[in-house]
């Protein structure tokens, strides 16, 4: 599936690149916990967000969103995008996040029903207006960004309601919104360069009975993802977490499923328990991993961040109507020397976390640009605000992992023994920070956290189809639930073959040519991307290792298969699992079927 997606994205880009510009960036796709370009380079996106709103754009193109002001608005955003991509003056960004602001999609002739206020009020939303302004306004801005060599993240109109239910009006709203967006032919032509952040700042999500459960988040967003895919969009989808996009833990137990997906985080002072008064860097890293465990399995994009120190004044209300401490005009109130240092430590700790600044005015001094043409950081006289540091950090981050038409990231080297625990392909942190330490007699002491995984990941898959069986061995029996999972895609939440390895056993055999997912799909032994040992509990496992064999009998072709002398007398069930004391039924002994 992944190869087909890459080939289709490449073909689409070849067909349409000339209609936008030679600056069109290479198509991106998700590969494990990374974004990658067409030739396999690791890509981390960093950029700026903005919204065509009179107030947010400081009335530069008009006082009211109406047809007569569309051209002025488009010209304003051309200046924004031109400034953001002026590398000669030091502005370094590679992605632009566009909010399809509800000032255009709300019907001005309707009165609000009063249930919600601000951007979470969807009572005046008009699908026809969204369709109209996608063509007249939003697409011209997106097209301009593409022409300037930027990737684009599209965000739907408004913010989530404070309380949402599975099957409720806001879920229906999101489905309608994305149904309209994915009917726009222009947007659908660029799945490698345009991605979708499917909602903004969910707070509390309840199931259809009004109960807060882990499953509610996946049940809420899965239908939204499904409508996007059903309509043919194959680009990257960014999924938000709850509590204003800072808590993603429920997706571990009840994941949303998709083949080309990352997660969209917001990070302001106070998020993840980190503040100016509590800004230890290692603490911030650990809290981020705790609340965003998907950082181990999927690419992460922080789609909103900014800060400035407290300032005497009147303060302001955010998009939910909450009072925000008075500062220099940012959403977050914090200091560069305190909270922001912890924030940067988090970003620098990972190789798959990108950053989008909340607005143009929080990144560059745009009014100065409009006056003089000079580009510099926002808040130039306030070093404790986000402008100066982010202007410098963006230059650093965009030069680290970027898209290219040539391969610059080294290819992953697969060891002669692909399941060598000491190789670089093995990770104790496929999911969560587990540990794996080599002990006496080449026994590995694996300490797994709840739902933690250790194992091997291969960027482009490995071919082990010449073997019949994969055997995992333990020095001591496993007493609690644990699974060995085998994937033929790089998507940790995708299809896989799962084998229960507990029940006080010291080994388990997996027959490589009869592996199927829960839905019955074949798991191909010629393109194995992930092999993971996972548990549902905190537990310690003494792992001997994994080896491949050709001699253990295969259930589909038992007669005439040579028997390994070391397995003399061993009894296996028809799924290939070794059995200590067989009950009544059919088993395999010495390569032949036997009734007990």
DSSP state letters, 461-478: EE--TT-SEEEEEESS--
Least confident of 165-174, 244-253, 404-413: 404-413
For 272, phi and psi rounded to 5 degrees? 60, 25
Residue 13 has pLDDT above 60, yes or no: no
Best CA proximity match to 411, nearest among 455, 454, 461, 453: 461
Distance of alpha carbon 157 from alpha carbon 141, whole angstroms: 15
Q: Which residue has the tokens 């080294």?
A: 410
Least confident of 135-139, 357-361, 491-495: 491-495
Q: Could you tell me if 94 and 354 are in contact, meaning their C-beta atoms sit under 8 angstroms apart?
A: no
Domain boundaries, the chain: 2-398, 426-550
Strand ranges (E), 108-210: 151-155, 163-165, 194-197, 204-206
Residue 555 has pLDDT above 60, yes or no: no
Angle at 531 between CA 590 and CA 419, to 5 degrees: 75
Q: Could you tell me if 178 and 228 are in contact, meaning their C-beta atoms sit under 8 angstroms apart?
A: yes
Judged by DSSP in three states, 592 sits in strand
Q: Which residue has the tokens 């010291």?
A: 506
- The residue with greater pLDDT, 565 or 49, is 49
pLDDT at 170: 97
pLDDT at 563: 45
Q: Which residue has the tokens 């694996």?
A: 446
- 578 forms beta bridges with 572
- 510 forms beta bridges with 470
Superfamily of chain region 2-398 = Glycosidases (3.20.20.80)
pLDDT at 500: 87
Calculate mean pLDDT across residues 271-299: 96
Characterize the bridge pairing of strands 528-535 and 482-487: antiparallel
pLDDT confidence bin for 148, thresholds 50/70/90: very high
Dihedral (Cα; 513, 517, 519, 522), 10-degree rounding: -30
Q: Comparing 2-398 with 426-550, is the CATH topology the same?
A: no
Distance of alpha carbon 28 from alpha carbon 26, whole angstroms: 6
Task: Return the number of other C-beta atoms located less than 10 Å from residue 433's C-beta.
Answer: 15
Q: Two tokens at 547?
A: 């080896």
pLDDT 10s digits, 419-473? 888 888 888 888 888 899 999 888 999 998 888 889 998 877 889 988 889 999 9
Distance of alpha carbon 304 from alpha carbon 420, whole angstroms: 40
pTM score of the predicted model: 0.83
Residue 253 has pLDDT above 70, yes or no: yes
Distance of alpha carbon 411 from alpha carbon 282, whole angstroms: 31
Distance of alpha carbon 355 from alpha carbon 302, whole angstroms: 5
Q: Which residue has the tokens 């996007």?
A: 228
Mean pLDDT, rounded, of the chain = 88
Least confident of 108-122, 496-510, 565-579: 565-579
Q: Using N-to-C axis directions, what is the helix angle for 339-349 and 281-291, rounded to 10°? A: 60
Residue 247 has pLDDT above 90, yes or no: yes
Judged by DSSP in three states, 182 sits in coil
Residue 333 has pLDDT above 50, yes or no: yes
Residue 568 has pLDDT above 60, yes or no: no
Q: Could you tell me if 212 and 206 are in contact, meaning their C-beta atoms sit under 8 angstroms apart?
A: yes
Q: Two tokens at 559?
A: 């007669």
- The architecture CATH gives domain 426-550: Sandwich (2.60)
Best CA proximity match to 240, nearest among 290, 303, 193: 303
pLDDT at 552: 43
Residue 35 has pLDDT above 70, yes or no: yes
Task: Return the number of other C-beta atoms located less than 10 Å from residue 230's C-beta.
Answer: 11
Q: Could you tell me if 595 and 586 are in contact, meaning their C-beta atoms sit under 8 angstroms apart?
A: yes
DSSP state of 12: H
pLDDT at 216: 97
Least confident of 165-174, 176-185, 543-552: 543-552
Residue 200 has pLDDT above 60, yes or no: yes
Calculate mean pLDDT across residues 224-235: 98
CB within 8 Å of 209: residues ≥ 6 apart = none
Least confident of 10-14, 79-83, 268-272: 10-14
Residue 76 has pLDDT above 60, yes or no: yes
- Output the CA–CA distances (angstroms, integers) from residue 483 to 463, 492, 508, 510, in the order listed: 22, 14, 10, 12
Best CA proximity match to 485, nearest among 493, 477, 475: 493
């Amino acid at each position: 599936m992944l190869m087909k997606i890459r080939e289709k994205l490449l073909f689409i880009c070849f067909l349409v690149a000339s209609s936008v510009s030679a600056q069109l960036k290479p198509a991106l796709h998700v590969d494990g916990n990374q974004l990658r370009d067409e030739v396999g380079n690791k890509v981390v996106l960093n950029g700026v967000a903005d919204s065509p709103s009179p107030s947010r754009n400081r009335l530069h193109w008009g006082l009211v969103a109406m047809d007569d002001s569309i051209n002025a608005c488009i010209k304003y955003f051309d200046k924004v995008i031109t400034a953001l991509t002026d590398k000669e003056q030091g502005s370094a960004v590679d992605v632009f996040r566009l909010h399809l602001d509800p000032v255009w999609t709300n019907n001005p002739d309707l009165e609000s029903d009063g249930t919600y206020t601000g951007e979470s009020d969807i009572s005046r939303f008009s699908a026809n207006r969204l369709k109209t302004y996608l063509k007249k306004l939003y697409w011209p801005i997106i097209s301009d960004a593409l022409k300037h060599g930027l990737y684009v993240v599209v965000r739907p109109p408004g913010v989530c309601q404070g309380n949402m239910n599975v099957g409720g009006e806001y879920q229906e709203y999101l489905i309608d919104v994305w149904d309209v967006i994915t009917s726009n032919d222009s947007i659908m032509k660029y799945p490698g360069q345009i991605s979708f952040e499917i909602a903004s700042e969910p707070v509390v999500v309840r199931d259809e009975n009004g109960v807060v459960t882990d499953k509610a988040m996946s049940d809420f967003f899965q239908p939204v993802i499904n409508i996007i895919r059903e309509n043919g969009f194959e680009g990257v989808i960014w999924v938000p977490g709850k509590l204003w996009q800072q808590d993603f833990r429920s997706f571990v137990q009840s994941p949303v499923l998709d083949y080309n997906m990352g997660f969209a985080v917001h990070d302001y002072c106070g998020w993840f328990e980190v503040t100016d008064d509590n800004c230890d860097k290692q603490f911030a890293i650990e809290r981020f991993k705790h609340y965003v465990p998907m950082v181990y399995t999927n690419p992460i994009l922080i789609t909103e961040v900014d800060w400035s120190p407290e300032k005497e004044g009147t303060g302001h209300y955010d998009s939910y109507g909450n009072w925000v401490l008075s500062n220099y005009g940012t959403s977050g109130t914090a200091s560069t020397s305190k909270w922001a240092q912890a924030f940067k430590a988090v970003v620098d700790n990972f190789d798959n976390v990108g950053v989008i600044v909340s607005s143009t005015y929080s990144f560059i001094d745009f009014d100065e640009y409009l006056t003089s043409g000079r580009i510099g950081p926002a808040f130039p006289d306030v070093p404790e605000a986000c402008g100066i540091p982010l202007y410098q950090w963006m230059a650093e981050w965009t030069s680290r992992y970027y898209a290219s038409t040539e391969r610059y990231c080294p290819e992953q080297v697969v060891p002669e023994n692909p399941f060598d625990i000491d190789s670089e392909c093995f990770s104790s942190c496929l999911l969560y920070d587990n540990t794996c330490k080599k002990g006496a007699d080449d026994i590995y002491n694996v300490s797994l956290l709840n739902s933690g995984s250790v194992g091997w990941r291969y960027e482009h898959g490995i071919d082990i189809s010449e073997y019949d069986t994969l055997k995992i061995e333990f020095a001591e029996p496993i007493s609690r639930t644990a699974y060995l999972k085998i994937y033929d895609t790089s998507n940790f939440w995708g299809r896989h073959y799962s084998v229960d390895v507990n029940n006080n056993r010291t080994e388990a055999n997996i027959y490589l040519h009869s592996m199927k997912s829960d839905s019955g799909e074949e798991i191909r032994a010629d393109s194995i991307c992930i092999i993971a040992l996972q548990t549902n509990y905190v537990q310690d496992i003494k792992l001997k290792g994994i080896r491949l064999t050709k001699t253990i009998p295969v259930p589909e072709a038992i007669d005439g298969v040579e028997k390994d002398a070391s397995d003399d007398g061993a009894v296996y069930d028809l799924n290939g699992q070794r059995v200590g004391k067989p009950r009544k039924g059919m088993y395999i002994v010495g390569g032949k079927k036997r009734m007990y």
